Amino acid sequence: MGEPNGPFTYSANTIHSPTTRRFINHSQDELKRQAAQAAISYIGPKLNSKSIVGVGTGSTANCFIDELANIKHTFDAAVASSEETARRLSAHGVPVLDLNAAPALDVYVDGADEIDHNCNMIKGGGAALTREKIVAAAADEFVCIADASKLVARLGTFPLPVEVIPMARSLVARALVAMGGHPIWREGVITDNGNIILDVHGFDIAAPLELERRINNVAGVICNGIFAQQAANVAFLAGANGISTLDAKP
């Protein structure tokens, strides 16, 4: 997913009344919807009867799916980054293809847990990071959609998800500690690939691509949630003053 519904939404020291939480959730939902609509306006003119759209996972991606359903007659099919997304697309009557059956993906649209000004991201709050990265890599263009609160000067405040083969949990955790991180096992969560997630706190990610590659080189790591090699090409961020656009720098 692009973002979780779990403990990292607000800091542990922040206390909100039920009324305030409902207002915040409603406001964020509206911003996500606006970002999704901006993505539809951007990709819509590029689609044709042979186009295949890659779709991400999470609450923001769900808003995009709801909007995408309105133009499902303009493209051929979609490729989903998770079982949950496949179910939602199918419920809207959007044909879903396995990635192996898709000749090419015109575009991939997904949310982010954090995004910097160069369109590098942290993703994986919903444990779909590996499939998200695969579908992003297969697409001609990656469009990120998010509310403006996800924009950061430097990645690392959001805990970095790392998908790990279960038997390698302790081995990988020790390697992450040696890199300066504080990994916490996301207990009770199993990915669509049958693996576990370690959420790594404490990383100050000054060089996203370097750290992404370094973590991926650890035996037992399937994928980590830094999207620098698969950074977004363009991002639409919805805020109080409307939609702002980020373009990836060369």
The identity of residue 120, as a single letter, is N
Predicted local confidence at residue 187, as pLDDT? 97
The answer to whether 239 touches 228, Cβ cutoff 8 Å, is no
Rounded (5°) CA angle 72-78-79: 165
The answer to whether 113 touches 124, Cβ cutoff 8 Å, is yes
Contacts with 68 (C-beta within 8 Å, 6 or more apart), sequence order: 40, 53, 55, 78, 89, 92, 94, 109
The pTM (predicted TM-score) of the whole model is 0.88
The answer to whether 156 touches 205, Cβ cutoff 8 Å, is yes
Structural class in CATH, domain 160-224: alpha beta
Contacts with 227 (C-beta within 8 Å, 6 or more apart), sequence order: 112, 120, 121, 122, 123, 132, 133, 136, 212
| 18-153+229-247 and 160-224 in the same fold | no
For domain 18-153+229-247, the question of CATH label 3.40.50.150 is answered with: no
CA distance 126 to 213: 21
CA distance 61 to 64: 5
Q: What are the domain boundaries of the chain? A: 18-153+229-247, 160-224
Per-residue pLDDT of the chain (250 residues; tens, 9 = 90+): 444 333 333 233 334 455 445 444 558 899 999 999 999 999 999 999 999 999 999 999 999 999 999 999 999 999 999 999 999 999 999 999 999 999 999 999 999 999 999 999 999 999 999 999 999 999 999 999 999 999 999 999 999 999 999 999 999 999 999 999 999 999 999 999 999 999 999 999 999 999 999 999 999 999 999 999 999 999 999 999 999 999 986 5
Q: Which residues are catalytic?
A: 132
Helix (H, G, I), strand (E, B) or coil at 45: helix
Predicted local confidence at residue 27, as pLDDT? 86
